[in-house]
Structure 1
């Protein structure tokens, strides 16, 4: 396989003249500061100048803040996304893969290990999944960190290696290459230190530029909302999702979004190696129901969009079948081996008992259970305080490049709607150094919300699907969730 440079634009040098004369960095900053619309040539100049040293860091930060405060119109965001994708190389695949290339992206959550079972399940259904993933950000976990808890797993793969893995296995999960969307690397680092991480145009361009260079035919976005998500309300998440879907489709990718709850953790295990164990349960046809629901929903959309299923429910049924019959698990094992895991370790993880899996992943030195402080019905288990405690215990990073402890994590021992008695163990914390402190314990106890109501069934994590207007018309759908089969 080859990776090719994105096509260049006429007059695209950072020194190129624009309609109003020579490009001027302070003038571009002033225009956006004053709420004016940037022209495509100015956006192109800005992105290409990132790699030439024409901008000072302070100037880049000033423009990012102006974008954060003033926003961007839809065509500005589209232009920014295209230029960021064109700042590096584009992955080129065999022509026969054209309709098979699919991927998903999540806006980040607690316990979100969906990519681990979803990628091999899609590959088992005939898709090609060149998944470029990230590391943990703030309190949210990262797919690459989870996979690196498996000894030997290599997230760094060249385009040629990616193609070889896709040919043999059908899926790979890798980190972003330095040659893919280099402009995003510059902006991403500066957004973190300039308090502009939450800028919608910057988020959209960052996400979709990386997916654009994968040359995808279909993309599904898991947009989370709630107290542990970037967007706290359904309304704000829906606006963001609609913008993502619109820009993605204009870039030539069939793009859909699913709005999902992120107040409670997804599944029962949080933390890198623990989430690998839970993903393996899902790949065996078991595991928590909310994890399976999200995997088959997202997978069903992608199978339908890529023409491998007649409808979203039919696609969800196919994903469920490969989870239940072991095909997805065997594909995951093949991906582990293709990305550097020794065959005997991959076999122990995918075919072994829970004890054998723990021998591979090496549990934390200390495990401590916290107990319910009173009788009641579990109304909520708040994800954010759990994630923040685990982050402080070493499961996450406080600065770029910091080593994390893959063994730190938590297991939820009760479920939503369950009645518990005072003294019932409700969470098990896995830790080493630093140790769990009394302030940590106090924070965790506040995460368990008990009430006096009768036992209730937990609500679905999936709230709504957002398809393009054309797709909604084709399915006769208004974009609402419906017809997704449960196990």
Structure 2
């Protein structure tokens, strides 16, 4: 029986549950269309997205949509590697660079920390994204490394994983093509924030990696993508339920994003911060980044059978980080993906902004609050992010925070340094930061770094 796009739209518009056949047919139609044959138009896709935004999806519909998107193109088959395949995904934040630490930590664990009893090795096929809006993108950070190739095909990905245990790449044009089409239209139709569409987008791409397990870092707070804690938790539950239903062990950690994570926010400067940590240089402003990276890695090591508990996994992660093994794994991954590893001999020397400015504390007191999303927009307007897909980004633009929320400050103490490759870009971000960074006479109440953990056992 022929299924027409307009009928699918009308059914969801009227609040009805779509059949599996309707969802599968619609996804096939949008992927198979050509300039000559418009099986479904952009207007029809946008209409269905809005109907889903308004009415949501039930558990079956969401599982069917995610699966249809997952298999809309090529998928990665990790079976020939004979390893435990695991990844981590973050919903995005400011200064969120944990992937740059987690991939080499897990790679080092898989290669140098064998566990008896037939536990398989570990591989991490980490497919990441680019910056958009106020959030940074892992690919933009990695591509500041001269020569580094994030655009590996699946055969090249397999080769790097065999050699290194982890790879850091972007989504290929043939992997989950349905998501690229839907995401581009979501961005223009006011439907980006739908938790059902977010879940399908994230999970279709991650499940296309043939994962045995997945750890999700779902941000909450003023810099989070989701506007409220309740919505972040709801998204976490959707993704855990979807992952588990597909046979992938899934855990979600709700983590605080009320200030930038770590010391730097930008592109190269975030790579620099992570390289310093892997080289044993632990700046006090990087303490939260190190802690979160170890906690997320700990969960991954636990799910992969290398640690009895997430807590012992976090301890193992920190041991690997402190030993230098993660740094050696990092160099191996970068070299395997054609990056110039000599740049890490003095990463600070590569940071060459043409304009800098330091903002200082206006009074004695405590750094009490900030709108972290506004801080992210300041980073973007310095040139480190993009307003729309395809915009160029600056390697050297960004910010260095000199204080964390709750820190005691003295008048005129450095608060934040901003960097740009064009001096004319400094004024607006400076004004934005001056407006949002608040100093009070009393210390603020701080939220824990890990707000909540959601696993299959927590779902009703």
Partner residue of 2:97 out of 83, 90, 113: 113
Q: Could you tell me the TM-score, scaled by structure 2's length?
A: 0.92
Question: 1: distance between equivalents of 2:45 and 2:232?
Answer: 27
In structure 2, what is the Cα distance between the partners aligned to 1:407 and 1:188? 28
Query: Given the alignment, which residue of 64, 72, 96 partners 2:49?
Result: 64
**2:130 paired with 1:135:** yes
Show the 5 A alignment for 1:176-215.
176-215=171-210
- Contact 1:393–1:435 (CA<8 Å) still a contact in 2? no
Number of aligned positions between the proteins: 441
Q: CA offset at residue 435 of structure 1? A: 2.0
| Aligned residues of 2:269 and 2:351 also touching (Cα < 8 A) | no
- Report which stretch shifted further, 457-466 or 327-336: 457-466
SS in 1 for 2:453: strand
Q: CA deviation at 1:466?
A: 1.1
Corresponding position of 1:10: none
- Pairing partner for 2:348 from 358, 366, 389: 358
Match of 1:51 in 2: 31
Distance (whole Å) between structure 2 residues aligned to residue 301 and residue 362 of structure 1? 33
> Residue 191 and residue 96 in structure 1: after superposition, are their counterparts in 2 closer, same or farther (change >3 A)?
same
The residue aligned with 2:214 is 219
Q: Return the alpha-carbon distance in structure 2 between the equivalents of residues 271 and 24 of structure 1.
A: 46
Counterparts of 1:320 and 1:255, CA distance in 2: 22
How many Å separate the matches in 2 of 1:369 and 1:80? 48
Q: SS at 1:125's partner residue?
A: helix
8 Å contact kept, 2:382–2:419: no
Q: CA deviation at 1:440?
A: 3.2
Alignment of 1:312-391 (within 5 A): 312-342=310-340, 346-349=341-344, 352=345, 356-359=346-349, 361-391=350-380
Q: Secondary structure at the match of 2:247?
A: coil
Map Cα deviations across residues 67-120 of structure 1 (whole Å, 9 max, x no partner): 11111111100000000111111111244534x111000000000000000011
Q: 1:69-468 alignment to 2 at 5 Å?
A: 69-95=54-80, 97-98=82-83, 100-126=84-110, 127-285=122-280, 286-287=282-283, 288-342=286-340, 346-349=341-344, 352=345, 356-359=346-349, 361-433=350-422, 435-453=424-442, 459-468=447-456
Question: 2 CA distance for matches of 1:441 and 1:181?
Answer: 40
The SS at the match of 2:63 is: helix
Moved more, 225-234 or 182-191: 225-234
TM-score by length of 1: 0.87
Of stretches 382-391 and 368-377 in structure 1, the one that deviates more from structure 2 is 382-391
- Distance between the aligned counterparts of 2:427 and 2:445, measured in 1? 32
By how many angstroms is 1:281 displaced?
Answer: 2.5
User: 1:308-332: per-residue Cα shift (whole Å, max 9, x none)?
Assistant: 2111111111111100000001100
Q: 2-side partners of 1:184 and 1:284: how far apart?
A: 37
Residue equivalent to 1:14: none
